[in-house]
Amino acid sequence: MRVLVADDDPSSLITLEAFLVSLGYEVATAQNGREAFEMLQAGDYRIVISDWEMPELNGLELCRRTRERQLGSYVYFILLTGRQDEGDLVHGLEAGADDFIRKPFNPEEMRVRLRAADRICALESRDIFIFSLAKLAESRDNDTGAHLERIREYSRLLAEEMSTLDKYRDVLNADYIRTIYATSPLHDIGKVGIPDCVLLKPGKLTHDEFEVMKQHTLIGFETLQAAVKNNPSAKFYRFAQEIVIAHHERWDGNGYPHGLSGEDIPLCGRIVSVADVYDALTTKRVYKEAFDHETAKAIIVGDRGAAFDPDVVDAFLNREEDFEAIRTQLARTSGETLTPELATV
Amino acid sequence: MHGTLGALSGADFGKQQTQRVALTSESGNVDFFTLSPPKARTVDDFEIPNDLLARCAGQRDLVRRVLSMYVGQMDSDIPELLSKIKNGESDEVAKLAHRMKGASANVVAEDLRAIAADVEKCARESQLENAQDCVEHLEAKWNDYLETTRPFIEAT
C-alpha cells in the first residue's frame, strides 16, 4: 500500500519513511503541504501521514483540500502533531482527519494505527469488489445503465430519511446506512441464473416465464450463502441476503418468493423495493419506455400500504427532490435516455 | 570540605594533560589534588536513545543518518532563528522553533527540545527579547550536544 509522508523536518521525515518501509509500505515523501497535495493528485496514495505545521500549506489545510477533491479511492489521513491544544483535535477532525499521532511517534502506536488504516482501506476495496460483481451480473441487460449507482443512492436516501423517525432511530444508524449503500447493488445478483430468453424478452412475460424470473431472488440468496457460511460472523453478507430475498415481497403479503407481509419483511428489503421500483419506472427498459417522475410517484403512492411499506413511501415523498436530482445527474453521467421533462433541463 | 580552589578554566585543560591544584580548607590546611582534563568524547560515549533506535527500526546506520541530518539542520536553523529574532519576525520565529522542537524530540535531545519549546512560546507571545535569551541558552546546550554526538556521527 502506498503511503505519502509530509513533514518539513528532514530528519523526522527520513525516520518515519524508514520505519514505514520496515513495515512493508511503499513510501513517498514531501517536504511541504503544497508538494504533498500535488503528489496526491498525481499518484495513488491510500494513506497520508502529515505534519500539522508546514510551510506553504499546513497539514490541516492539506487534509481539508484532500477531502474536498474526489481523488478516486478514499485517502486515510493521519495528522502527526506536536501540538498540545485539545481544540486542535476538533479542528483536525472537522478538516477530515481520520486519526492523530503525537510527535515524536511511538513505533508501536504507529504500527497499530496503521493497521486500523489498512482495515478501513480494505473495506473500501471490498465495497468496490462487491459493486464490480453486481455490475457483472447486470452486464447482460443493456438497459440498466447506472441502475446500480442509482439504487444505492436511493436506498441511502430512504434509510437516512427514515432514521429521523423514533421508530427506526436505533436501527437505522450510520452503520446500517453504510451497509445498505454498499449491499443494495447486489439485489438482483440472482439474475445471472435467468436465461436470456426471459431476462431480455422485450414484451410481457407469460405466467411460466414470470415464474422463472421470480427464481432470481432464490438464486441470489443461494449465491450469497457460500459467503455467509465462510464468514459466519460477517453481518454484511447476511444483510445482502435479506435484500436479495426480500426486495420483491409486498407489504400486503402478495409478493414473492415467500409471501411475507408487513414488518415480517426485512426492513432493508422494504427500502430497496421502493428504490428499485422507482428506478425501473423512470428508466427505459427492454419492455417499456421511461416514465416521468410524477407518473412514477403516483404509482408508488398508489401502492402505499399494498406493495410498499407506508413509512418507506412517506420517506420517498419527503426526499423526492433528491430522488429527481440523483436521477438527472446519473442519467447524464451514463448517457442514458432521459424522459422528455429531463431532456429539456 | 570547603575552601578555595586554584582558578581553573576550560582553556587550561585544553593545553595541559593534567593540572596540580591546591585546595585550602577553612582550617588553613592545604591539600593538593591532581585533576585530569575530561577525555575527548568517542563513539562509545554516545548512547543511542532507545526511543530513537526503535523509531529507526533498530538500524544504527539509520540513526547515524538521522542524527547527521539533525545536526546539519540545527546548525543552519540556530543562526536563522537569531536573525529572525533580530528582524522582529515573531511568527517566523515561532514556526522555526516549532520545527526545531519536533526535530529535537525525534532524536530524544530533551534539553534542546525544551528550550526550543520555550523559544516558540516566547515568540507566540511576541516576547522576542525572552526568545533571544533562550536561544543563547540553546547555543550553549547545542555545543554540548555536538561534542557528544559528533564522534558517533562521524564514525564509519
Q: Over A191-241, what HEC string results?
A: HHHCCHHHHCCCCCCCHHHHHHHHHHHHHHHHHHHHHHHHCCCCHHHHHHH
A127-147 burial code (b ≥16 CB/10 A, e <16): beebbeebeebbeebebbbbb
Q: Report chain A residues whose CB lies below 8 A from the CB of B101.
A: 82
pLDDT in tens, A79-94: 998 766 667 777 887 7
B15 or B120: whose pLDDT is higher?
Answer: B120
Candidates B48, B52, B53, B55: best to mutate against A (most CBs of A within 10 A) is B55
DSSP assignment string, A117-133 = HHHHHHHHHHHHHHHHH
Contact A53 B98 (CB under 8 A): yes
Backbone angles phi, psi at A83, to 5 degrees: -70, 150
Q: Does B56 touch chain A (CB under 8 A)?
A: yes
Output the furthest CA–CA distance in chain A (Å, rounded): 75
Lowest mean pLDDT among A17-21, A125-129, B78-82: A125-129
Q: Write out the E strands in chain A.
A: 2-6, 26-30, 47-51, 76-81, 99-102
Say which of B55, B70, B95 has its CB closest to residue A107. B55
Q: Above 0.85 for ipTM, yes or no?
A: no
- Taking CA–CA distances from A103, the nearest residue in chain B reads B102
Q: Which pLDDT belongs to residue A72?
A: 61
Per the structure block, which three cell numbers stand in for B145?
550536544
With a cut of 80, say whether residue A231 has pLDDT above it.
Answer: no
B114 touches A: beta carbon within 8 Å: no
CA B20 from centroid of its chain's CA atoms: 29
Q: Which residue of B has its CA nearest to A58?
A: B95
Highest mean pLDDT, choosing among A6-20, A39-53, A56-70, B4-18 = A6-20
| Interchain contact A15–B (C-beta under 8 A) | yes
Output A95 or A60, whichever has higher pLDDT: A60
According to the per-residue pLDDT averaged within each range, which of A23-37, A165-179, A184-198 is highest?
Answer: A23-37
Q: Which of A15, A53, A105 sits opposite B66 (nearest CB)?
A: A15
How far is CA A63 from each of CA A33, A189, B95, rounded to the nearest angstrom?
A: 9, 38, 19
Is pTM beyond 0.90 here?
Answer: no
Residue A131 has pLDDT above 90, yes or no: no
Which residue's C-alpha cell is 530524544?
A: B108
Interface of B with A in 9-48 (CB under 8 A): none
Summarize the confidence of residues A162-174 as an average pLDDT: 91
CA gap A149, A128 in Å, rounded: 12
* CA dist., res. A47 & res. B98, Å (int): 25
Which cell numbers hold the place of A159?
434509510
Q: Which residue of A has its CA nearest to B72?
A: A11
Shortest distance between the Cα of B20 and any Cα of chain A, in A, equals 45
What tens digit of pLDDT does each residue of A192-221 get?
A: 888 989 988 888 899 999 999 999 999 999
Task: Tell me whether B103 touches chain A (CB under 8 Å).
Answer: yes
